[in-house]
Amino acid sequence: MPDTNNKVVCPDCQAEIKGEKLSVGDILECSECGTEVEILSIDPLKYQELIEEK
């Protein structure tokens, strides 16, 4: 994944998810589809879709 900037893209709908200050462990919610993404690492930026148990 060639992401070197601080841009999180929704793994579900590819919409950009904007966060003011990202930090490890943050949970960002996609404003388009509601998918939640957990920040795993800042440099390099890594994140993963958070699967909620129902």
Which bin fits 53, alpha (ψ -120 to 50), beta or left (φ > 0)?
A: beta
CB closer to Zn ion out of 6 and 32? 32
Q: Ramachandran region of residue 34, left (φ > 0), alpha (ψ -120 to 50) or beta?
A: left
Query: Contact with Zn ion (CB under 5 A): which of 16, 32, 44, 50?
Result: 32
Cα gap 2→5, rounded to integer Å: 9
Q: Is 12 in the site for Zn ion (CB under 5 A)?
A: yes
Residue 50 in contact with Zn ion, rule: CB under 5 A: no
Residue 8 binding Zn ion, by CB under 5 A: no
**Binding site residues, Zn ion, CB under 5 A:** 10, 12-13, 15, 30, 32-33, 35
